[in-house]
Amino acid sequence: MTEPSGTRGRIVMLVDNGVRFDSRVQKEAVSAAERGWDVVLLGRKPAGDQRVEWNIGQATVRLIRVLNPMKVRRFEYRRGGLRSPLAYPPGPLAAYRVQGVKAWKADLVVRRAVLSGRRSAWASAGRFALGAQLFMAKVAGRWVSFRSARTDSLNRRRKAMDGPLDRFTTAMWQKVLGDRAWRRLDPGVWDWELAYGPVIDDLKPDLIHANDFRMLAVGARAAARAKASGRPVKLVWDAHEFLPGMRSWGAQGMHPRWRPAMQALEHEFAPYADAVVTVSDELGDLLVQEHGLQQQPGVVLNAPMAHDASSRSSTAVDVRTACGLTTDTPLIVYSGLAAHKRGLDTMVDALPMLDGVHVALVVSDPELPYVVKLSRRAEALGARDRLHLVPYVPIEDIVPYLSTADVGAIPLHHWPNHEISLLTKFFEYSHARLPIVVSDVQAMAAKVRETGQGEVFVAEDVDDYVRAVKDLLADNQRYRRAYDTPGLLEEWTWERQADELDRIYSRLVSGD
């Protein structure tokens, strides 16, 4: 792939997801291409996704297949040893043994049934032999069940990593290897490097824009290879979240060593970044403290494009129409990630106390287990008919799509990363001119109180949420008038953010 004539240079953007549901990286790619950069956005190819390359605006999106043989750590391939000597070795053997004994028993039962009606001496001897074998099968079954239970117990302990030996080895690798400890704690990072690295090298970028910590490592190593070959490449690190403040991923199926590994990874490669951008001043301050950055990160808000309110795809509808509701039906909308920590339980539990009010959850997949659980909860409360589950829409449609609701909800729980930034949905609701009900997370609660565009409630307090929603519905237009403040929405546009990003790109590539 050669660089087209007339471009300002090639930018390769990196993200560790399938791109489709990541509005920030899509907007980054589109706006950079509009400003004359040759942009290739590399993402991970999800299982079952048939498309591997397409265009968004003038930017190219390319999905890469990432094999993950190193996702399983070496100790997970080992036998139980002294910790659990009777456990089966890793792999399918335990399940095979359990199923094999069941098959043996089933066969013996049928063979004995066949002989049960026969009266010959041979049949009697056969029944006696089968009875002895069935006894042996039962004994074997108990032994296999015992070993299988030991295997399950070993796997649980290896997953929890909370034993004295586990804590010791984790601390040992951190002490011995320091920032290089991720190589032992989570070697699966190499799978990303080996998949993305050759593609980046082949594209020969002038600048690499790495989104978040995993892609920071991939981008930093690619930049180092390019510089070693005599081709200077600049690296921009786009930090979306504060890694030490993220919720423990153990509860979400991630290995307990994942977070210390990623923190070590981030510490090792943060100095490679020629510029750092992030989503808020507060997060920028934390990154300076955490990594000793010499310059304050640039702030690029997750704001929507200014033309979102008037530019829609030909098939676009709005959320009220999608829910089949009339204009006089009160409607609260939530748009974004469906997770317990996002507070959607509060919205559902409040439905019996908000007579006639409907809730629309705009989520990536209405069949996600957590969303199904919310649906069942609403049914148990007798309010299932007032809970609507609708899928994501394209980023150019989201603002007008949301604009027909009465209230936009951001009912977050208190987690460090929830406290320090204005989320994408905050800006989307604002451009849709929706009154906002937000939990008392620091940054967004302060902004809502400052502008008067909504009400704040105590996080996870259903009664206080109900109070706030009733206030918003009682005088909806008063909260909407906050958006008439001169310059407010103009400041919260992606175009303003893209200009800042473009200045950073230009400065780095030109060497000014």
> Residue 148 belongs to what H/E stretch?
helix 121-160
CA nearest 406: which of 363, 448, 435, 445? 435
| Same domain, residue pair 328 and 472 | yes
Q: What is the number of domains present in the chain?
A: 3
Q: Are both 334 and 471 inside the same structural domain?
A: yes
Nearest to 208 by CA among 194, 227, 189: 227
Are residues 480 and 355 both part of a single domain? Answer: yes
Residue 250 located in a structural domain: yes
Same domain, 26 and 49: yes
How would you write the pLDDT of the chain (512 residues) with one tens digit per residue? 444 444 799 999 999 999 988 889 999 999 999 999 999 999 999 877 667 899 999 999 999 999 877 676 666 666 767 678 888 888 788 888 889 889 988 888 888 888 877 777 787 787 788 888 889 989 998 999 998 988 888 777 777 777 787 788 889 989 999 999 999 888 889 999 999 999 999 999 999 999 999 999 999 999 999 999 999 999 999 999 898 877 644 444 577 888 899 999 999 999 999 999 999 999 999 999 999 999 999 999 988 887 544 455 545 689 999 999 999 999 999 999 898 999 999 999 999 999 999 999 999 888 899 999 999 999 999 999 999 999 888 888 899 999 999 999 999 999 888 898 899 999 999 999 999 999 999 999 999 999 999 999 999 999 999 999 999 999 999 999 999 999 999 989 999 999 999 999 999 998 76
Indicate whether 120 and 58 sit together in one domain.
no
**Containing structural domain, residue 432:** 307-492
Q: What is the pLDDT of residue 2?
A: 41
Residues 488 and 392 in one domain: yes
Which among 442, 439, 434 has a CA at the least distance from the CA of 483?
Answer: 434
In a shared domain, residues 144 and 125: yes
H/E run at residue 202: helix 189-203
3-state secondary structure of 275: strand
Structural contact between residues 334 and 359, judged by C-beta atoms closer than 8 angstroms: yes
Examine residue 167 and state whether it is found in any structural domain, yes or no. Answer: no
Neighbours of 337 (CB within 10 A): 15
Say yes or no: 290 and 316 in one domain.
no
Q: How many Cβ atoms sit within 10 Å of the Cβ of residue 289?
A: 10
Do 147 and 239 lie in one domain? The reply is no
CA–CA–CA angle 45, 49, 54 (5° rounding): 75
Q: Give the domain CATH number at 331.
A: 3.40.50.2000
Crossing angle between the packed helical segments 93-115 and 121-160, to the nearest 10 degrees? 160
Residue 75 placed within a domain:
no
In this structure, is residue 509 part of a structural domain? Answer: no
Residue that finishes a domain, picked among 253, 271, 299: 299
Strand intervals (E) in 134-221: 207-211
Q: What's the one-letter identity of residue 235?
A: L
> Are the beta carbons of 187 and 265 closer than 8 angstroms?
no
pTM: 0.80
Rounded Cα distance between 157 and 84, Å, is 11
Same domain, 323 and 272: no
Domain end position, chosen among 299, 328, 343: 299
Instruction: Name residue, tokens 């006894």.
Output: 135
Which H helix or E strand runs over 283? Answer: helix 281-291
User: Are residues 350 and 462 located together in one domain of the fold?
Assistant: yes
Q: Are 468 and 439 in contact (CB under 8 A)?
A: no
**Is residue 169 included in any domain, yes or no?**
no
Q: Which residues pair with 53 in a beta bridge?
A: 62
Residue 227 CB: number of other CB atoms within 10 A? 13
CA distances from 105 to 46, 139, 370 (A): 42, 11, 40
Rounded Cα distance, 334 and 367, in Å: 16
Domain final residue, candidates 160, 175, 209: 160
Give the C-alpha separation, 269 to 273, whole Å.
7
| Contact present, 78 and 50 (Cβ < 8 Å) | no
CA-nearest of 334, 319, 300 to 436 is 334
- Asked if 222 contacts 233 with a C-beta cutoff of 8 angstroms, the reply is yes
Residue 1 has what pLDDT?
Answer: 42
Identify whether 181 is part of a domain. no
In a domain, 269, yes or no: yes
Is residue 64 in some structural domain? yes
Query: How would you label 479-510 residue by residue, b for 16+ Cβ within 10 Å and e otherwise?
Result: beebbeeeeebeebbbeebbeebbebbbebbe
**Other beta carbons within 10 Å of 190:** 17
- Tell which residue, 304, 310, 299, has the closest CA to residue 493: 304
Give the DSSP letter string of 411-464: -----HHHHSS--HHHHHHHHTT--EEEES-HHHHHHHHHHTSEEEE-TT-HHH
* CA–CA distance, 4 with 369 (Å, rounded to integer): 46
Same domain? For 271 and 418 the reply is no
